[in-house]
Structure 1
Amino acid sequence: MDRNPPGSIPTDPPLVAVSVDSGEWRVRAACRGAALSVFFSPDGERRGARDRREARARQICRVCPVLVRCRDHALTAGESYGVWGGMTESDRRNHINRARRGERRPLTSFHERPAGAASGVRRPAFTVSSDRAYTGGASRGRPTAG
């Protein structure tokens, strides 16, 4: 028997794909409004410049109220590019590889050391110098203009 005869208003809500991560945390992110170039590398970026950029990004992440949500999103969604939750691209790859081998390492250790610390790169002060803003990576690691 048809529960909703022709011309009637359906009583059942339509089926909608529900995301586990709704992304509402992005509006509270410390990086909101910061330059995209701090979190995502430009083409041809050299190691020293990358270390300085990642150090600036981690400096922002360090005080972020949604750092853990951001990091968990990046690890769950498989974000390939950029700094997310204080973790660089290589941090996430290393974490995933260690997890596959069954190794355990506290994630807090990624946030305590600045990028480039091993190479002696000093952490510069954070400045916003772009008219494009980072809005929390609305879709799969791709930067969005704000």
Structure 2
Amino acid sequence: MKNRFICEAGEICDRLYFIKKGMVRGYFVSDGIELTTWVDTENEVFTSITGFFRNQPCQENIQSLEETYCDYLEYEDYKYCLNNFPEMRQINRILLEEYYILAEQRVYLARIPNAQKRLAYYMENMKPHIVERIPRKHLASYLAIRPETLSRLLKERH
């Protein structure tokens, strides 16, 4: 369902999700403003990292942005698979690598002081193929720029 909350801040997220179709974002609220921290689409995995791996309340909200269909693995099943299936350890290693790469990209993106250069970095290194699908306000929030600035920069790119 579009705009459905998969997990809200303060809840325990004990599932690791795989997106079959759709788009999901993570965000938190600061001073009444929603700040998007990530956006995932088809064939990507998401969860609340502290919720899933530490059984702690998640710090962010996870919300679908489109009609979204996911498969999921509950934490206890995840642990069982790691302990009983060697191929799951290989999958886990790949997932860990992907999470670290994406985290590194987000940290780098957040440190670029110029909005135009942040957008360029996103378009060149991250997920340019989904720019037209992401609601502008969420992409602007993710890039830490005003929606008007994002619109202007996107027009200049064409």
Common fold by TM > 0.5: no
Which of the pair is proportionally richer in helix? 2
Q: Which protein has greater RCO, CA pairs closer than 8 Å, 6+ apart?
A: 1
Which of the pair is proportionally richer in strand? 2
TM-score by length of 1: 0.29
Q: Which has the larger radius of gyration?
A: 1
TM-score by length of 2: 0.27
